[in-house]
């Protein structure tokens, strides 16, 4: 079935915060193009995948990340106002692997292979966890030798009403020499619910999430704590799109990601998509994928 992916430019149009201007990551022109794409793709695909070359979670407030800008809030508010669901973020340049619930039922999966060797190489440091409730799982405690990692994202829309996205993240720490064991598996279903379903880090992730929920630090979390690992064979994809930190396929999306964890996410968001996605540069020139 159809899958829609919008690869955002998070470097070419950014503006740092000044005494008179707020920080921008996407630029006004590109934000408008993202909004337009979300509307058009909502009628076409059950899933809308937004790919960001840098971490999206506000926990990453470094100048290269989205934290400190209103871009994410503006996109999420627009989607909510227009009843657009099925949004999933994938990102890189975090120098680690992480899963974040950046809004109720909306996950970001971040992974990047470069310099994924723990602090100080991880770009999302513990001191930047401004909202720990967003953190579903991170590679942080995996060790400095975890320097080989990658992930896959499978979009399965073959059965109407049972559409899903499966994300698996692998690492040379915990996945075995043949990278056959996932570190974490998550299933996202319709209605913005998601559940940790398996992986070698499942029990730790469930315990951490349960603790945060009990402490009231994640009042908006829609997670359902579940059990039982489930594996879905990767489907061979067609039409690969290669971008700096990602290898994306319409049906199977392979993520060349952050550090040391493998996750699988079954995301039943709707990926809306059209044949063109893209953005309008602030000088008026329009670039389409």
Task: Calculate helix-pair angle for 71-81, 28-42, nearest 10 degrees.
Answer: 30
Structural domain boundaries, residue 159: 4-288
DSSP run (H or E) holding 6: strand 4-7
Higher-pLDDT residue of 154 and 227 is 154
Task: Kindly tell me the sign of the dihedral angle through the C-alpha atoms of 43, 44, 48, 51.
Answer: negative
Token pair 């809030």 in the structure block, residue? 73
Structurally, the chain folds into a number of domains equal to 1
Higher-pLDDT residue of 34 and 67 is 34
Q: Cα separation of 197 and 266, whole Å?
A: 9
Structure confidence at residue 155 (pLDDT): 82
Token pair 């975090």 in the structure block, residue? 94
Q: Cα separation of 142 and 109, whole Å?
A: 17
Question: For residue range 146-191, what is the model confidence (pLDDT) as tens digits?
Answer: 667 777 888 888 888 888 888 888 777 766 667 778 777 777 766 5
**What is the average per-residue pLDDT within 44-56?**
89
Whole-structure pTM value: 0.70
């Amino acid at each position: 079935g159809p899958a829609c992916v919008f690869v955002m430019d998070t470097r070419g149009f950014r503006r740092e915060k000044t005494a008179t201007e707020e920080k921008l990551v996407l630029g006004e022109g590109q934000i408008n193009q993202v909004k337009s794409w979300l509307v058009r793709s909502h009628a076409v695909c059950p899933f809308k995948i937004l790919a960001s070359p840098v971490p999206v979670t506000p926990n990453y407030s470094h100048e290269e990340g989205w934290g400190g800008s209103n871009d994410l809030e503006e996109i999420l508010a627009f989607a909510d106002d227009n009843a657009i669901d099925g949004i999933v973020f994938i990102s890189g340049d975090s120098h680690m692997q992480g899963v974040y619930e950046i809004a109720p039922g909306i996950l970001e999966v971040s992974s990047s292979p470069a310099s994924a060797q723990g602090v100080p190489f991880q770009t999302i440091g513990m001191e930047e966890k401004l909202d720990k409730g967003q953190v579903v799982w991170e590679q942080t405690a995996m060790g400095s030798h975890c320097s080989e990692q990658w992930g896959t994202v499978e979009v399965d829309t073959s059965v109407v009403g049972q559409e899903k996205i499966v994300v698996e993240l692998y690492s040379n720490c915990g996945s075995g020499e043949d990278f056959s064991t996932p570190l974490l598996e998550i299933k996202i279903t319709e209605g913005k619910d998601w559940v940790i379903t398996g992986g070698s880090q499942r029990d730790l992730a469930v315990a951490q999430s349960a603790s945060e929920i009990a402490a009231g630090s994640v009042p908006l979390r829609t997670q359902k704590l579940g059990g039982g690992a489930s594996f879905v064979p990767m489907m061979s994809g067609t039409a690969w799109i290669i971008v700096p930190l990602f290898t994306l396929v319409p049906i199977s999306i392979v993520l060349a990601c952050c550090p040391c964890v493998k996750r699988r996410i079954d995301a039943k968001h709707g990926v809306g998509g059209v044949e063109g996605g893209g953005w309008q540069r602030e000088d008026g020139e329009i670039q389409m994928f």
